[in-house]
Chain A
């Protein structure tokens, strides 16, 4: 595997996770528990889709310059014409919204990871990656602040909100381990100073999550539990196909459609 091939793959992973979570959150627009939360969810989704666009635009540039797989495709082509097996987003982001506790549990575990990931990538040896990461990091700080506040409020709230929040954490937990499983792409780019060191990310994430869940009077499951995996090989849960069907319908039914 050449460095450019690894870079293309790495950028797709970054872009896909942002895009799929952004799309998932958009399902709540018009359907959120309160108007303020609806605006917040819509804004977080917008930030994520914007970041996805930056990563995919760069992925398309890298592919074209190096004439590797995907060459000649635009960011939109990458988002709207790849099938499920070609998607590289983390399994956690494609999970259904569930109830509000489920939505916030998924968001929080992702936000902590995203925050540490972009912090690391802000120092990437690849200036293009560092620039997108530094920009996105400012936005992600707000995402993390909001999701942390909701974990505390619901966890340390009423008996019912506590129970729902605990169930939500327990349910989504099995998808968290995959965020730290490194493969050839991760090692190659981490060694080159371009990508993030996932082992380091794991300990930062663990410390933050354990501390916040304790503050929220919630039980933190073990990181040694059985964890789902597969997204780096394009093996997804059944949730992704339905999401893509909706997201990709228009560009597939009307190729080249524009406003």
Chain B
């Protein structure tokens, strides 16, 4: 029996996105849009307030016949979360009934913080991580330090403590107004 597929109600943890018959055969393919929504619920393991979609790690979704091709890009070459993210995405898709999945790693164009969505930036700020400032051109990276606003009190009177923070993607700052230390999501 074919169940109604309703993506507005889709909840990958409890209800499969795909209707299946008793043999487990896929009868209907969920729309790409529904899968984007699904993956937007997969958190980044190191900064769990933002999703892998917010961060721009998921670059593309395509149906290749019955197979879903997920194109991913790593944030940093040595990011230890890369494998974990691949597993989390595969798991979320499997839980939604999409079993036939191919993950494809794509390096070019290289990931940039410019791809972090607006909602992702706001979520970072609320979490206490200052989002990247400005765009990631080579000139701006080698030039002056950006003016980073404190995510706690909003002050611009902040100072960099270290070029590198708790993960490869962050730098360590301190606010001179409220004296709180905070992470800054580096522009790359």
- A residues sitting closer than 8 Å to B (CB atoms) are 36-37, 39-40, 42-44, 46-51, 53-54, 127, 130-132, 134-139, 141-142, 144-146, 149
Contact = CB atoms under 8 A, between A and B. Distances in A.
Interface string B91-126: 000000000000000011111100000000000000
Given A130-B108, A138-B110, A141-B141, A47 B77 contact: yes
A46 B172 contact: no
A39 B142 contact: no
B61 interface: no
16 contacts: A36-B162, A43-B164, A46-B76, A46-B79, A49-B78, A53-B77, A130-B108, A132-B107, A135-B107, A138-B110, A138-B112, A139-B76, A141-B138, A142-B188, A145-B141, A146-B164
A93 B35 CA distance: 45
Interface residues of B, number: 27
Given A142-B186, A145-B142, A134 B109 contact: yes
Contacts of A40: 162-164
Contacts of A37: 162
Contacts of A135: 74, 77, 107-108, 110-111
Task: Tell me the interface secondary structure of chain B in the complex.
Answer: loop
A138 B111 CA distance: 9
A104 to B, nearest CB: 13
Contact of A50 (B76, B112, B161, B186): B76
B78 A50 contact: yes
Contacts of A42: 164
Given A43-B164, A43-B168, 20 more contacts: A36-B161, A36-B172, A39-B162, A40-B162, A42-B164, A48-B78, A54-B77, A127-B108, A131-B107, A131-B108, A132-B77, A134-B109, A136-B77, A138-B110, A138-B112, A138-B188, A139-B168, A142-B186, A142-B188, A144-B142
Interface of B: 74, 76-80, 107-112, 136, 138, 141-142, 161-168, 172, 186, 188
Task: Tell me the interface secondary structure of chain A in the complex.
Answer: helix
Contacts of B112: 138
Nearest to A55: B77
A44 B111 CA distance: 18
A47 B162 contact: no
B109 to A, nearest CB: 7
Nearest to B77: A50
Contacts of B142: 141, 144-145
Nearest to A128: B107
B148 to A, nearest CB: 15
B81 to A, nearest CB: 11
Determine which residue in B136, B162, B163, B186 has the highest number of CB atoms from chain A within 10 A of its CB, and name it.
B163
B107 to A, nearest CB: 4
A28 to B, nearest CB: 13
Contacts of B166: 39
Contacts of A39: 162, 164-166, 172
**Nearest 3 pairs between A and B by C-beta?**
A50-B78, A50-B77, A36-B162
Nearest to A127: B108
Contacts of B164: 36, 39-40, 42-44, 142, 146
Contacts of B141: 138, 141-142, 145
Contacts of A146: 163-164
A127 B108 CA distance: 9
